[in-house]
Amino acid sequence: MADILEVRWHARAGQGAVSAAKSMAQVLGMLGDHVQCFPEYGAEKRGAPLAAFNRLSKDPIRVHQAVYNPQVAIVLDMTLYGLVDFTQGLPEDGLIFLNTPLTPAEARKKYQIQGYKVYTVPASDIAVQEIKRDIPNSPMLGAVFAVQGLVPRDKFLTQVEKIMAKTFDERIVAGNVRAAERGMDEVKSE
């Protein structure tokens, strides 16, 4: 399992966490990596808490079970704080990505986070500016790819554009690519 990166996304239904997890898998899969992606729904209604998961590896993945100890936790909605333990199963050196305009130090204090490596991204602000809706998945996806160095920047952005072009019109695709790129540029670390 040492060569497998496990990721857990926390969000509310409608914020794009499942789409972001699928995009993460598609980008890496298109570039030859081995991937898994699966959601975990609760009430399956807009606004309900949900989680989505990824497993990523250069080698075949033979594990087919829930993700219990992710190395990365991504939180798209900070109103989940206190409702969901987004640090559950995360190792001491795990990474937490938070959708907030706060600095990592401010977020650590406000959300009482001890340990871990904290990254913050003003993803909702970026999404509203670039796609005119508070769907923060693209900036968060960009931030994770930038920090993790999963693929070169240009390949990531090209693959995101290809994936989105299958479903959305040019305007939405362009806005999401800009949002992902800004997430890459505006992620803050400690």
Contacts 24+ apart (CB under 8 A), 39-47: 40/66, 41/13, 43/13, 44/13, 45/13, 46/12, 46/13, 46/14, 47/12, 47/13, 47/14
Average pLDDT (18-34) is: 93
Residue 38: which domain range?
5-189
Q: CA 60 to CA 121: how far, in whole Å? A: 32
Q: Is the pLDDT of residue 2 over 60?
A: no
User: Tens of pLDDT along 71-122?
Assistant: 999 999 999 999 999 999 999 999 999 999 999 999 999 999 999 999 999 9
Q: What is the CATH number of the domain that holds 110?
A: 3.40.920.10
Tokens of 87: 């640090």
Overall domain count for the chain: 1
The band of 1, judged by pLDDT with boundaries at 50, 70 and 90, is: very low
Share of the chain above pLDDT 70, in %: 97
- Mean pLDDT in the chain? 93
Nearest to 73 by CA among 59, 94, 103: 94
